[in-house]
Amino acid sequence: MIKKHMILHGKVQGVGFRQFTQTEAEKLGVKGWVKNKSDGTVEVKAEGEEKTMNTFIENVRQGHRFSSVQNVDISDTDTVEHNGSFSVTF
């Protein structure tokens, strides 16, 4: 399992981006969470198998038709808090 922490910049709030991220994670079996930050970015912590995580990261980086991801800061993380699922947190 690999664990990643991501901060997504761009038009990622108010466009259904968290729900899109959750849907992508659930399709791929990725566990973790996504939330809006007060600075207009979206934060994600996720874990999964390497190939699955690579696909998840690429899908999130591309976003969906209403979003516009300008930059993604990605780093490794030691822990990802989840209850065996992927959730939208507030």
Task: Tell me, yes or no, if 36 is annotated catalytic.
Answer: yes
The residue from 18, 54, 65, 71 that is catalytic is: 18
Give catalytic status of residue 18 as yes or no.
yes
Q: What angle do helix axes 50-62 and 17-28 make, rounded to 10 degrees?
A: 160
Distance CA 74, CA 14 (A): 22
**Distance between CA atoms of residues 42 and 44, nearest Å:** 7
Residue of 36, 59, 61, 65 marked catalytic: 36
Which active-site residues does the annotation give? 18, 36
